[in-house]
Amino acid sequence: MNWDDFAGWSKHIADWGAQYHKTLRDRPVRAQTKPGEVAAQLPDAPPSQPEDMGDILRDFEDIVMPGMTHWQHPRFFAYFPANAAPPSMLAEQLVNTVAAQCMLWQTSPAATEVEGRMVDWMRQALGLADGFTGVIQDSASSATLSAVLTMRERATGYTGNREGLTGKGALRIYCSDQVHSSIDRACWVAGIGQANLVKIEGQGPRFAMDADALDATIRADVAAGHTPAGVIAITGGTGVGACDDLGAVAQVAKAYDLYTHLDAAWAGSAMICPEYREIFWKGVDAYDSIVFNPHKWLGAQFDCTIQFLRDATPQLNTLKIEPEYLKTSGDAVTNYSEWTIPLGRRFRALKLWFLIRSYGLEALQTRIRNHVAWAEELCDAIRAMDGFEITTDPILSLFSFRCPGDDAMQQHLVDAINDDGRIYLTQGVFAGRKIIRVQVGQFDTTRDDVMAVATVVQEVWEAIT
Ligand SMILES: *Cc1c(COP(=O)(O)O)cnc(C)c1O
């Protein structure tokens, strides 16, 4: 393809994209595809001769698009959002076009310096203390793994990487039973082991781990000859939005000199609003590592995860490696690939720069406040429905409910709602029972879209019973 053809097709795709977004409400939110349906339309073998881009794009529309679930649909209330605000999409187009590897300062100085500034803009926006630095990663899972590896290395006097873990006894990490599966997986991959990830029951209105129970558990582990390595707290758990008491948890961790990591992957975006910081964020400055995903609620196109670090040194001591081919001239510069597990890195900071400049923080705050208010209104509407039960009240914009009937009936209703296609919800489990989750957070959603959930739930419920 020559660059004149590239320009033509780029314009075609930009127009297609605007049209797609303007007509999204006409599409079912969740793909209505059966397993194997898309694969059956693809040739078994690759073509040996060139094909026309017009044909390729036609097949994209005919074969691929019907098999897509529309995460940017204004009636997407499943999982957590993966918002791609238009200015961040434009930045991604530029990043894709320049296609630089931003592993070292030298391999694209602007990428490093914009990243440093964006991390600091977000630090200020989230009300974190002066002195936090950070790095943009691909996912919260990677940031959490980086933090768990740092816990491991710090607890073994930085000998794990060199010597392996043989003979080092049980390293223990503590969290609540409300954490995301990425914490379990980080412990598997880091050689900690699931058996050494100790989960404390989440209790009370925000399903927080009890600091006294945490203290007693660590003390017992020390007495048993184990090596406590770190504590992981959560603000906004995936299931029902659990939030730990950050100050109380950090205080226990510090008493044992443990490294602390906070997972605020989803709820972190809401902390651009000072009033939510008052409720959910007190004590946050004590954490050694904090992860939040601007690629969820805030509007930066996936992928964009910020890991804030109170002091980057322990993580650098854990992950930095400098083979000859990566050595640079010794200038005092930041080489962000030394802060993370992958070497190669995309220029992820550009979409934050475009996003924040294009909207300004106030407009982004307003969106989040609206989502929280509309979730509360919707929750009240479902509470008023005959036989329906609110199983967990809204934490920010996430709540859960049950329809009349057993667990199988909850799943039946979720499946029927998603087959209907007007909205998209997902199920979860809380206190041993199946629940139906609702989160409000899609970037273009309106109050009408949100309140449509009550109507659709009622109509589908009547249709299946
Ligand atoms: C989404 C989420 C994660 C995982 O995020 P990725 O960026 O997909 O790895 C971890 N923790 C919480 C609380 C989440 O909501």
DSSP per-residue codes, 426-444: EEEEETTEEEEEEE---TT
For the CA of 141, the nearest atom of ligand 1: 9
307 has a pLDDT exceeding 90: yes
What is the mean pLDDT of the segment spanning 416-434?
96
451 has a pLDDT exceeding 80: yes
331 has a pLDDT exceeding 80: no
- The whole-number pLDDT of residue 324 equals 78
Residue 462 tokens, joined: 């009547």
pTM of the predicted protein model:
0.97
- CB-defined site of ligand 1, < 6 Å: 80, 139-141, 180, 182, 236-238, 263, 265-266, 293, 305
- The whole-number pLDDT of residue 325 equals 78
pLDDT digits (tens, 9 = 90+) for 59-94: 999 999 999 999 999 999 999 999 999 999 999 999
Distance 140 CA to ligand 1 centre (A): 5
Distance 144 CA to ligand 1 centre (A): 9
**Residue 153 or 321, more confident:** 153
Residue 272 tokens, joined: 């651009």
Half-sphere exposure of 253 (CA within 13 A, CB side): 26
323 has a pLDDT exceeding 90: no
Q: What is the dihedral of CA 8, 14, 16, 22, to 10 degrees?
A: -160
Distance 183 CA to ligand 1 centre (A): 9
pLDDT digits (tens, 9 = 90+) for 244-295: 999 999 999 999 999 999 999 999 999 999 999 999 999 999 999 999 999 9
Q: How confident is the model at residue 29 (pLDDT cuts 50, 70, 90)?
A: very high
- The whole-number pLDDT of residue 97 equals 96
Percent of the chain with pLDDT over 90: 97
- The whole-number pLDDT of residue 86 equals 97
Angle of CA points 93, 341, 96, to nearest 5°? 10
What is the mean pLDDT of the segment spanning 135-139?
98
352 has a pLDDT exceeding 90: yes
Please check whether residue 259 is in contact with residue 314, taking contact to mean a CB–CB distance below 8 angstroms: yes
Q: pLDDT averaged over the chain?
A: 97
Please check whether residue 168 is in contact with residue 160, taking contact to mean a CB–CB distance below 8 angstroms: yes
Pocket test for ligand 1, best of 189, 234, 262, 266 (most atoms within 8 A of CB): 266
Tell me the one-letter amino acid at 461. Answer: W
Please check whether residue 302 is in contact with residue 69, taking contact to mean a CB–CB distance below 8 angstroms: no
Angle of CA points 243, 293, 111, to nearest 5°? 150
Distance 141 CA to ligand 1 centre (A): 6
